[in-house]
């Protein structure tokens, strides 16, 4: 059996940035921070933060654009590895979560009211969509 599914809740490091692929498909990129606390064998408390790269394709990029820095969000997606070559010519490999469902857990805006944004996307074939 094989399965590639991830569910994470955390806080956005900054507002998602939207760009467009050569095909015209919008994609939003963001980073999510997830901090957790744990006790070691000597009962000392420790805190660690994991950082996750997120990609929102198609209509989900519009949902992502409604999120702000610091928003607490929940995402479901798949972990994918992507290769690219930046301008310096070196080959880079990144792991990212391609988001297939997301929603805000609690967004607060300047007026103090809670707003909820959510979306689900059936993704097209993204092979060669760099």
pLDDT at 109: 52
Tokens for 77, please give them.
């997606």
pLDDT at 45: 94
pLDDT at 124: 46
Those residues of the chain that have pLDDT short of 70 are 106-130
pLDDT at 113: 43
Q: For residues 96 and 79, is the Cβ–Cβ distance under 8 A?
A: yes
pLDDT at 123: 47
Tokens for 22, please give them.
């050569």
Strand spans (E) along the chain: 6-12, 17-20, 26-39, 45-57, 72-84, 92-108, 114-115, 118-120
pLDDT, tens digit (0-9, with 9 covering 90-100), for 71-96: 999 999 999 998 989 899 999 999 99
Q: For residues 33 and 39, is the Cβ–Cβ distance under 8 A?
A: no
pLDDT at 120: 58
pLDDT at 57: 96
Q: What is the pTM of this model?
A: 0.75
């Amino acid at each position: 059996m094989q399965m590639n599914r991830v569910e994470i809740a955390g806080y956005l490091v900054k507002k998602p940035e939207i760009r467009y692929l050569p095909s015209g498909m919008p994609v939003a990129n963001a980073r999510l921070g997830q901090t957790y606390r744990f006790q070691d064998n000597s009962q000392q408390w420790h805190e660690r933060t994991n950082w996750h790269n997120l990609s929102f394709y198609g209509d989900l990029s519009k949902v992502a654009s409604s999120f702000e820095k610091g928003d607490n969000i929940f995402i479901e997606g798949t972990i994918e590895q992507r290769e690219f070559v930046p301008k310096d010519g070196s080959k880079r490999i990144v792991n990212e979560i391609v988001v297939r469902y997301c929603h805000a857990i609690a967004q607060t805006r300047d007026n103090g009211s809670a707003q909820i944004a959510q979306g689900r996307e059936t993704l097209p074939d993204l092979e060669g969509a760099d």
